Structure 1
Amino acid sequence: MYQDNCPYCNLDADKEQEIVLENETCYFIQKESEQQILQGSGLIIPKHHKQDVFELSEQEWKDSRDLLLGAKKILNQKYAPDGYSVGWNTGRAGGQSIFHAHLHVIPRFKDEPHAGKGIRYWIKQKENMRK
């Protein structure tokens, strides 16, 4: 349920990570250095080490949803985004690089260069077709 070398089990190890919201089983965090490009972006992570989204308990699912709604309220007030990209990357092929489940919450704005291109856009390109 805890791993020494996991950045999400050891939030204090990275001084840039800030806990914005928390409940019984999860945190919503933001990282200072990521705010330059992905303004308002953050992660919802379970407090106990779970390798991926498929290991979450029913309570962690409920608490993740509650934090997502709370984060949306805060982000709407602070940034007034035009939309959101929200998603889990699972497994190396799915883009997961830190093996502690985490839900990406990314406010999106109509004046971004990639506005209108959601999560699927990148994996639907011809260059990504299996051979």
Structure 2
Amino acid sequence: MSCIFCSMNEIIIENNLFLAIFYKYPVTKGHLLIIPKRHVEHYFDLTFEERQAIDDLLFKGKKLLDQQYKPDGYNIGINNGEAAGQTIFHVHVHLIPRYKGDMKEPRGGVRGVIPEKRM
């Protein structure tokens, strides 16, 4: 079975180990996916150097999105494992720009993955 992330070609930014693309199904405008160039299924299988490369692209992605879309905040998320909602088993980090008014009550942020736990 081929991996859709192993053949990305619409790269927005990259470093030596990772690339970032605009997500095909964005939560908000500017939603980026940060993806390792090496096929790795889970975040906890990444090397220390790869985890540093994620951080590099998170900051580069934020700078790009700040300039292009001027969001009011960000969510950063990784679904690690099927029980956590991972459906593509190639690590990817969501950098989701947030805008005032994009939802009625954003309080609780990522806790909303289990709606009844949202504060």
Q: TM-score, normalised by structure 2?
A: 0.89
Checking the alignment, whether the CA contact within 8 Å between 1:109 and 1:115 is kept in structure 2 is: no
Deviation at 1:116, TM superposition (A): 1.6
- Taking the TM superposition and a 5 Å limit, the aligned residue runs for 1:40-79 are 40-79=30-69
**Runs of 5+ in structure 1 lacking a partner?**
13-17, 127-131
Deviation digits for residues 55-93 of structure 1 (CA, Å, limit 9, x no counterpart): 111111111100000000000011111111101001111
Larger Rg: 1
Partner of 1:5: 2
What is the identity percentage for the equivalent residue pairs of Structure 1 and Structure 2?
41
Which 4+ runs in 1 deviate beyond 2 A? none
8 Å CA contact retained: 1:40, 1:75: yes
Q: 1:114 to 1:40 in 2, by over 3 A?
A: farther
- Which SS does the other structure have where 1:44 is aligned? strand
Q: What is the aligned counterpart of 2:22 among 30, 41, 46?
A: 30
Give 1:79-98 correspondences, 5 Å limit.
Answer: 79-98=69-88
SS of 1:70's partner is: helix
Report the alpha carbon displacement of residue 10 of structure 1 after superposing the two structures with TM. Answer: 1.4
TM-score, L = length of structure 1? 0.81
Task: Give the match for residue 15 of structure 1.
Answer: none
